[in-house]
Amino acid sequence: MAKESGLGMAIAIDDSGGSARTISNDLTNFDFAIPRAVQDVTGIDKSAMERLLLLADFSITANGIFNDASNMSHDVFKTVSSTSVARTVTITVSGQTLPNETFFTDYSLARGADGALTWSAPGVLTGGTAPTWA
């Protein structure tokens, strides 16, 4: 396996109708996490921590440039406040994909002092399926 950059990554996110929309061109940056919960089970007879691995999770915060063209980022996120649907988020890099069913909890827009119109959309795992790279 070779080391690689994040150049050429792609992200597709379902719109509220369930159609995957590749909005990579609108994204300026994003971060995601696939943590595991842990339970502390340390007894008083121990001198170091004892833990059990628990549930897996996924979260993402996508950030981008406002684009209200058909099937682009604004079309994908404009219904976040009015619909309660899970959306498939598929992150692709170097032939590896990470698909997750996600609830987006906000779609916030910001207009900077320089005139830039940007957005941010945080999402969290739903559906109970552990995040798995394919």
pLDDT one-digit tens code per residue, 59-107: 999 999 999 999 999 999 999 999 999 999 999 999 999 999 999 999 9
Give a yes or no: residue 35 inside a domain.
Answer: yes
Quote the radius of gyration of the chain (alpha carbons, Å): 18
- Token pair recorded at residue 61: 């915060």
pLDDT reading at 8 higher than 90: no
pLDDT level of residue 4 (50, 70, 90 thresholds): confident
Give a yes or no: residue 133 inside a domain.
Answer: no
Give a yes or no: residue 116 inside a domain.
Answer: yes
Give a yes or no: residue 56 inside a domain.
Answer: yes
Residue numbers of the domain that contains 41: 10-125
Concatenating the DSSP letter of every residue in 35-67 gives -EEEEE---TT-SS--EEEEEE--EEEEEEE--
**CA–CA gap between residue 48 and residue 95 (Å, rounded):** 41
Q: Among residues 5, 63, 60, 15, which one has the least CA distance to residue 34?
A: 60
Q: In angstroms, what CA-CA distances link 106 with 82, 98, 122?
A: 11, 22, 6
Q: For the whole model, what pTM was predicted?
A: 0.90
* Res 1: pLDDT: 63
Give a yes or no: residue 4 inside a domain.
Answer: no
Give the mean model confidence (pLDDT) for residues 33-53: 97
Give the count of domains, the chain: 1
